[in-house]
Structure 1
Amino acid sequence: MKLWEDTANQLKGSARRKFMAQVVDFLGRGGQVFAQDHPGWSRSTIQKGAIELATGQDFQDQFHLRGKKKAEERLPQLLEHIQEIVEPTSQTDPTFRSTRSYTPITAGMVR
């Protein structure tokens, strides 16, 4: 059992799913329930691996589609709106040490 867990942890993606499906197939009837309870493997992952074994085609992991999108993607005009808010209050750096603009507005006020 420990060998199966260690091997599954070392593999990634399709190879891991196929290995898990092969172990469950080796266990026979009730193998999915056993694998879910003892090593803690997901039954949906095992089923996905079984499909990959049966068809011979691997599913493409699309991790780039997961997660939170950038604010610029969700709100394409965000930068323009922020500039409209900030520009009227911008002034030269009060110490005159640089040519950068200084704005006495906090991020909370812009929000």
Structure 2
Amino acid sequence: MSGAKRREFTAQMTNKYCQGSARKAERVVGWKRNMVELGLAEQRTGIKCVGAQSAKSGVKRWEEQQPEAAKILKEIAEAHGQQDPTFKTTIAYTRLTAAQAIIELRQRGYKSEQLSALSTMAVILNRMGYRLRPVVKAKPQKKLRL
């Protein structure tokens, strides 16, 4: 448990066993007093405090950092892509490798600082829905006798 659920639980237990006292809950159970007070305030007002840390922290994906390059990469992959010959999946198979994608992006004027590493480019292509697999021809169906 973490976040609002944890604070809700601590507030319920504090009201039940510690007469609603955050100091008593800190002394008896060992919970941080600030967390218990926040949980009690959330319970009293009905307003949940939601942190925005996940929106502000972490490294953004390459597609978010370089949206124009991502758009061009998609165009390149579309040019090299083919639909699954059996039409059973929505995955587009491609013969485009990550190294070839980096080379083509460099030819279009992108610097190496703007492009990701080789292994990361392979992950980006997979995330965009392009799998590096040999494109096979569809096998013809056998003639059916009716």
Instruction: Tell me the TM-score range normalised by the shorter chain.
Output: 0.3 to 0.5
TM-score, normalised via structure 2 length:
0.34
Higher share in helix: 1
